[in-house]
Amino acid sequence: MSERLTLDPAALARIGNLELVARWVVEGFISGLHRSPHLGFSTDFAEHRPYVPGDDIRHVDWRVFARTERTYLKTYEADTNSNFTVLLDVSASMGFAHGGITKLAYAKLVAATLSWFSRRQRDRVGLVTFAEDVRDIVPPSARHLPNVLHALERATASGTGSLARPISKIAQSQPRRGIFLLLSDLYEPATDVLRALGPLTGAGHDVIVIQLLDAAERTFPFEDSTTFRDLESGERLPVSPGRIRARYVAAMDAHVTAMRAKLGGGRVDYRLVDTSQPLDRVLFDVLLRRAFLRTAV
Amino acid sequence: MPFLAPLLLLGLAAVAIPLLVHLVQRERRDPIAFPSLMFLERTPAPFTSRRNLRDPLLFLLRALAVIALALAFARPVFGPRPVAAGVDVRRRDVVVLLDRSFSMRIGDRWPRARAAVDSVIKRLLPGDRMTLVAFDRRARAVTAATSDAARLRAALDSLSLTDESTRLAPALSIAQQRLAAGDAPRKTLVVISDFQRSGWDLTDEARMPAATEIGVVDVGGVAPVADRAVRAVEVRRDRRPGPSQMLVSARLTNAGPAARGVAVRLEVGGRVIEERSVDLPRDGGASVSFAAVPAPPDPVPARVVLAADSLPGDDAVHFLLNQAPALAVLVLEGRDSPFLTRALAIGDTPGFDVTTRTPSRAAAADLAGRRLVILADGAFPSGIGAARLLRFVEAGGGLIVALGDQVSPRSWPAAARQLIPGQIRPAIDRIGANGAVLGSLDQQHPALALLSGPRAGDLSAARFYKYRSVDTTAGVLARFDDGTAALTEHAVGRGRVLTFGSTFDGLWNDLPRQPAFLPLVQQLARYAASWRDAPRALEIGTSVRPSDLSRDAGPDGARWIANAPSGARTTFGGNGAPTALELTEAGVHELRPGGSPGARPRLVAANIAPAELDFATFDVLRLTNALTSQPGTPGAARTTDAEAETLADREARQSTWWYLLLAATLLLVAESIVARRSVTRTPVLE
C-alpha cells in the first residue's frame, strides 16, 4: 500500500488534463486497494423491513409478497444513484502557494479524482464553484462528469470568500439528498463555518469538508520583516515573522482544532489536508473515513 | 607587493556596500501575498534588529568577492620591485618600430604585429611617452612622442602594409635619434617584425643609447612559409625569320609541398595570351616558356600570373612588352671590313641599326637619327664636316675613332681637333716583336667592365702589331704594354668620344679573332652612345627621374605626373616637386609630362624586390646584440629574456589579476548558492 501513496500533487498538476489525471489516479488507486470492501459511496442490498403506511410502494418486494403474502420493503445501505456534489472555494486565498502547487490546483485534483471515483460508482456528479457567491454550477447528473471536469479546469482564484451565502443557495437548489464535498481553506471562525453548513446538514445531506492549507500557512516560515498583503481584501500589514511566528502557529493550530471539534460535533466529516501531501493518501483517508461513518450510521 | 594600478585599490571601499545595504535596509518593497491576515499581527521591524548581521557567511562571501575584484583591477605584482635598468615606475621613452613591408602580408603576421603594438600601448604607464615608427625600406615616425593612447591607436589604425622591401637601418636610426632626444630616465625600444635576413643592413652605428631596454616581437613564427611566386621574367627577341616577335619565359619558385598542374598565364595588354600548366617540385622551382608573341612597337603592359595562393602579392610579375629600340650607328670605314659591322649586327641588347659609309661619301644627312658614329680608320668625313660632327657630339651623340693607317694628324681639320683628346702620334710597328699586348685595362670603367666577367674573354690575349697612340694622360682606359694610350675617353659637350689606338678590321691586330672582340665592340658602342637599357620592369623602391624619361630633360627635369596602379597620383620633377618618383606599388605606373594630359603615357612596370621574397630570417639575438653596447660597458639592456623585465612585463607574465577574477567569480557563485538557501523563497501565485 505504501508504494501507492506517492502521487505527487505537483507532478499531477503538471499533467494539465484533469480527466486524465482523475482516471489515472482512480484506476491505479482501486487496483492498489485490491477492491477493498470497506470503501465506496454506493451500497448494496441491506435487509427487508415490514411495510408501514407512508412507504413508497415501489420499494415493496413483490416476490416476497407472493410467497408469504406479507409486504416487505427492500432497503439498501445507500442509494446507488446518489448525488455527489463538489463545493469548490475559488476565492483569491485559494490561489496561494509557497513553493508547491496552489491550494486551488490541489483542490481541483481532489475534486476531479473523487468525481471520477463517484461516477465509477454510478453516482451522479455535480460541481458548484463559489467565492463570495455562487460562480458556476454543474447540476448533478450521470452525464455531467465531463462538464464537471471542464468547469474545474476553467476555475480560477479571485474575489473574497464567504461560505454562508453560497451554501444557502446551494441547499435550496438541491432538494434531493446527496453527498457534498466542500473544498476550502476555511478562513472563517469554526462556528461560522458550522453555521454556514447548517442548511446542508439540516436537509440531511452528507457533508464532507476538506480544509486545504499550504504548509507555509501552518508553519509560517518567513524570515524578512516585510509587509504581508491579504490576497482577498488587499489589506497590508507590516510583520516581523520571527516575532510572531510562534503566536501565529498557535493560532492556526487552535483554528484547526476548533474546526475539527465543531464540525465533528456537527456530524460533518472534516479533514485537514496539506497541499504537499500525496494525493492518494488523501483519497484513502477520505474514503476510509466515509466508510467508517457509514458503518457507524 | 607593488600594484600596476594602485588607484583602483580604492575599490576596496566597496566592501562596505553589503554592510551599508544591511544597515539601511528597509522593509521589502514588494509585499508578500498571503491568503489571510486573520492570524497575523502588526509587528514593524525594529531598527536594532538591522544592526546585527543576520548571515555572517553571506556577508563574508560578498566582502571577499569585492576584495578580489578590487585587487584584480589593481593588477598586483608579486616579487620585489625591479631595479635593473632604471626604476620601473619612472617614466619611459618608448619607441616602437613596426615592420610593414611586403613579407608582413604572410599569414597573420600583420594582425599579430598590430596586436603587439596595441599591447605596448596598453602597458604604457602614466608619464610614458611612445613614438610609433613604421618602416619598410624606409622609416617614418608616424607619431611624435606622446602618452595619448587614443592618438597612438589612431596612428596605428592608419598604417597599412606596403609592397616595399625591408631595411632595418633607417628605422633604427630614427629610434636612436628619438631615444637620444628623449628626457625620460628610462628608454625602451620594441622592434616588431618578421626579421627577414634580407632586411639586415646594420652597422656599428646602430647601437641604442645607454640603458635602453630592447624588446623584440618576432611575428614570423617558426613554421616555414609556403608560397608560390613568379620570381623573374625574361623577354628575348625571337630570332626566327618573320615578323618581329618576343619570347617570354618566367622563373617560378615554390616553397612548400609539391604542387601539380599549377596554372600560369601570360597576359599582354590585359588579355590572356597563353595559359600553361606546370608542376612545381617541393621547395624548388620551374621555368615556363610561352609561345612567341608579336612585339608591339610601343610598350604595352604585360605580366606573368601564377594561380593565386595565400600570398597573392608575389604571384605576378609585371613588365613592358615591346620591340627593343635599336641603336642607330653610322659606320665610316676607310676599307671594307666585315668584322665591325657583323659584330654590331648580332647585338641584342640593344639591337644595332648599322649604316655603313665610306668617309668620302658620307653626308650630313647620314647623321640624322644616329646616336653613334664610328670612324673606323678612315679619312675625316668631309661630307659631314667638322662643325656638324662636333655639334652632333656636343648634343649627346657618340663618336668612336679607330686610329689606323688612313688616319693622320694632318687629315683632321682644325675644327675637329677637339674631338680627339690629344695629338695623334705616328704609328708604332711592333710586328717584329710578335706584336704588343694591352698592358693595363681599367676593368672598373663602364666601357670595359663587361670584360671583367668570368667568360667575357681575355682581351690581353690580343696582339697589336701596329698602333697609334694619342698624346694624352687623361681619360686613358687602356694602355699598350709600352705604356702608350690604347683607349681613351673624353667628353665633348654632352657626348662622348672614344679613341682607339688601333683598328677593328684585323689588319693591325688580331683583335677581331679574339672572343672578347664582340662584347668589346658592342659595349664600346653602347657606352659611347650613352645608351641605357630601358628595363622592362623595375624593383619597388627604384627612383625614376625625369631624365630617365626624356633625354631632353634638364638637370631638374620637366614636371611629370605619375598614376600608380592604385590610382594614387604623384607629381615629380620640376620646381617644388620631388626630383624623382619612388616606385612603391607593384604594377604598371603611367607617367605623363605635366601640362600634357592627353600625351601618350610612359609606362613603368614595378615588382616586389626579389630580396623581399626571400623569407629566410635571422636570429633576433643578433639584433639585440647589435643594438647593445659592447659587453662590459654600460649600454642597452636586452629584454628578450626575462631579465630586467618591467613591472608591466612581470605583471603580464604573472597574470595574477586573472586568478583573482576567477576567485571573485567562484565567491559570487558560492554567494548565490548560500543566498538561495538562506533567503526565504518568494510565494508564487497561480
* Residue among B66, B82, B63 nearest B74 (CA): B66
A88, A104, A193, A226: best to mutate for the B interface, most B CBs within 10 A: A226
CB pairs under 8 A between A and B: 113
The residue that leads in pLDDT, B451 or A22, is: B451
pLDDT digits (tens, 9 = 90+) for A30-53: 555 434 333 444 444 556 778 877
Is the C-alpha dihedral spanning B496, B493, B410, B425 positive or negative? negative
Q: Nearest C-alpha of chain A: how many angstroms from B127?
A: 53
Averaged pLDDT of chain B: 83
How many angstroms separate the CA of residue A13 from the nearest CA in chain B? 12
Bridge-partner residues for B525, per DSSP? none
The long-range contacts involving A220-224, CB below 8 angstroms and separated by at least 24 positions, are A220/A244, A220/A245, A220/A248, A220/A249, A220/A252, A221/A98, A221/B680, A222/B32, A222/B680, A223/B679, A223/B680, A224/B27, A224/B28, A224/B679, A224/B680
Task: Count Cβ neighbours within 10 Å for each residue of A205-216 and write b for 16 or more, e otherwise.
Answer: bbbbbbbbbbbb
Look at strands B398-402 and B470-471 and give their pairing: unpaired
Highest-scoring range by mean pLDDT, A62-76, B51-65, B303-317, B648-662? B303-317
Q: How far is Cα B364 from Cα B379, in angstroms, rounded to an integer?
A: 15
Task: Read off the C-alpha cell for A63.
Answer: 416476490
Number of H helices, E strands in chain A: 10, 11
pLDDT single digits (tens) B49-82: 555 566 778 888 888 888 888 888 888 887 665 5
Q: What is the pLDDT of residue B487?
A: 93
* The three three-digit cell numbers of residue B446, written as one number: 663602364
Chain A nearest-CA distance from B54, in A, is 10
pTM for the full model?
A: 0.50
Pairing of the two strands B423-424 and B245-255: unpaired
Give the DSSP per-residue string, A10-42: HHHHHH--HHHHHHHHHHHHHHHHTS-TT--S-
| Alpha-carbon gap, residue B527 to B449, rounded angstroms | 11
Structure-block grid coordinates of residue B604: 613603368
Res. A70: pLDDT tops 50: yes
User: What is the reported pLDDT for B553?
Assistant: 53
pLDDT score recorded for residue A47:
65
Q: How confident is the model at residue B607 (pLDDT cuts 50, 70, 90)?
A: very high
Q: Distance between CA A170 and CA B617 in Å, rounded?
A: 100
Burial tier of A56 (Cβ tally within 10 Å: 0-12, 13-18, 19+): exposed
**Which chain B residue shows the shortest CA-CA distance from A241?**
B43
Residue A67: CA atoms inside 13 Å, Cβ hemisphere, count?
4
Q: Averaged over B333-340, what is the pLDDT?
A: 85
CB contact under 8 A, A255 and B39: yes
Range B369-381 average pLDDT: 90
Put simply, whether B24 touches A (Cβ < 8 Å) is no
In this complex, which of A227, A243, A244 lies closest to B31 when CB atoms are compared?
A: A227
Element (H, E) at B284: strand B284-289
Chain B residues 49-78 within an 8 A CB cutoff of chain A: 49
pLDDT digits (tens, 9 = 90+) for B509-542: 999 988 889 889 999 999 999 887 778 888 888 8
Would you call A96 and B38 a contact, using CB atoms and an 8 Å cutoff? no
User: Per the CB < 8 Å rule, is B35 touching A232?
Assistant: yes
* A293 confidence band (pLDDT: 50, 70, 90): very low
The span from the CA of B400 to the CA of B500, in Å, is 7
Chain B neighbors of A186, CB-CB under 8 A:
none
Nearest-CA distance from A259 to chain B in Å? 15
Element (H, E) at A166: helix A164-173
Q: Is B263 on the interface with A (CB under 8 A)?
A: no
CA of A189: which chain B residue's CA is closest?
B38
- Are A227 and B685 a contacting pair at CB < 8 A? no
Query: Over the stretch A9-33, which tens digit does the pLDDT of each residue have?
Result: 666 666 556 666 666 666 666 555 4
| B616 vs B611: CA distance, rounded Å | 10
Shortest Cα distance from A153 to chain B (angstroms)?
13
Nearest to B151 by CA among B128, B172, B175, B132: B132
Contact B438, B459 (CB under 8 A): yes
Per the CB < 8 A criterion, the answer to whether B416 and B389 are in contact is: yes
Whole-angstrom Cα Rg for chain A: 21
Kindly tell me if the per-residue pLDDT of B636 is higher than 70. Answer: no
Q: Note the maximum CA span of chain A.
A: 81
Cell numbers at residue A103, please? Answer: 491550494
Per CB-CB distance under 8 Å, the chain A contacts of B39 are 247-248, 251-252, 255
Q: How far is CA A26 from the centre of its chain?
A: 16
Give the containing element (helix H, strand E) for A140.
strand A134-141
Quick one: average pLDDT of B145-172? 91
Q: How far is A215 from chain B (nearest CA, A)?
A: 12
pLDDT, position A24: 64
**pLDDT given for residue B86 in this prediction:** 39
Measure A275 CA to nearest chain B CA, in Å: 14
Mention every residue, 6+ apart, whose C-beta is less than 8 A from residue A46: A75, A76, A77
What b/e readout covers B125-150, taking b as 16+ CB neighbours within 10 angstroms?
beebbbbbbbbbbebebbbebbbeee
Nearest of B642, B636, B558, B661 to residue B602 by alpha carbon: B558
Q: Do the beta carbons of residue A160 and residue A232 sit within 8 Å? A: yes
A184-219: pLDDT as tens digits: 999 999 999 999 998 888 888 888 899 999 999 999
* Per-residue buried b or exposed e for B195-232, using 16+ beta carbons within 10 Å of the residue's own CB: bbebbbebeeebbbbebbbbbbbbbbeeeebbbbbbeb
d(CA B147, CA B158): 18
For residue B621, pLDDT over 80 is answered with yes
Are residues A26 and A113 in contact, defined by beta-carbon separation less than 8 angstroms? yes
Q: How far is the C-alpha of B665 from the C-alpha of A195, rounded, in Å?
A: 61
Asked if B28 has any chain A CB less than 8 Å from its own CB, the reply is yes
Closest in A99, A224, A239 to B43, CB measured = A239
Q: Kindly state the cell numbers that stand for A133.
A: 457567491
User: What pLDDT, in 10s, does the model give residues B401-434?
Assistant: 998 888 877 777 888 888 888 888 888 988 887 8
Q: Is B450 helix (H, G, I), strand (E, B) or coil?
A: helix
Band of pLDDT at residue B679, cut at 50, 70 and 90 = low
Predicted pLDDT at B628? 78
Q: Check pLDDT > 80 for residue A285.
A: no
B40–A243 CB contact, under 8 Å: no
The yes-or-no verdict on residue B637 having pLDDT over 80 is no
Contact status of B43 with chain A (Cβ, < 8 Å): yes
Band (pLDDT 50/70/90 cuts) for residue A281 is confident
Lowest mean pLDDT among A225-234, B200-209, B262-271, B623-632: B623-632
Yes or no, beta carbons of B686 and A217 under 8 Å apart: no
CB contact under 8 Å between B33 and A243, yes or no, is no
Contact A226 B39 (CB under 8 A): no
**pLDDT number for residue B45:** 66
pLDDT in tens, B276-295: 999 999 988 999 999 999 88
Residues in chain A: 297
Mark yes or no for CB contact B39/A224 under 8 Å: no
Name residue, grid cell 639591337.
Answer: B351
Return the bridge partners of B216, or none.
Answer: B191
Q: Which of B32, B46, B686 sits opposite A228 (nearest CB)?
A: B32
Q: Which three cell numbers stand for residue A107?
A: 483542490
Q: Report pLDDT for A81.
A: 66
Distances (CA, A) of B393 to A135, B92, B495: 126, 64, 5
Kind and range of the H or E element at B69?
Answer: helix B56-74
Name chain B contacts of A255, Cβ cutoff 8 Å. Answer: 38-39
CB contact under 8 A, A96 and B35: yes
Cβ distance B44 to A238 less than 8 Å, yes or no, reads yes
Distances (CA, A) of A245 to A111, A223, A224, B53, B535: 32, 9, 12, 21, 102
| Least confident among A140-149, B125-134, B260-269, B621-630 | B621-630
- Least confident among B29-33, B92-96, B269-273, B312-316: B29-33
Confidence of residue A179 (pLDDT cuts 50, 70, 90): confident
Per-residue DSSP letters for B118-180?
A: HHHHHTPPTT-EEEEEEESSSEEESS-SB--HHHHHHHHHH----S----HHHHHHHHHHHHH
What is the rounded end-to-end Cα distance, in angstroms, of chain B?
57
The predicted pLDDT at position B236 comes to 83
CB contact under 8 A, B32 and A222: yes
B231's grid cell: 620570381
Pairwise CB contact (< 8 Å): A226 & B681: no
Q: What is the pLDDT of residue B515?
A: 86
Distance of CA B621 to the CA centre of its chain: 23
Which amino acid appears at position B228 of this protein?
Answer: R
The beta-strand segments (E) located in B470-539 are 470-471, 476-480, 485-492, 495-500, 538-539
Report the percent of chain B where pLDDT is more than 90: 29
Residue B41 contacts A, CB cutoff 8 Å: yes
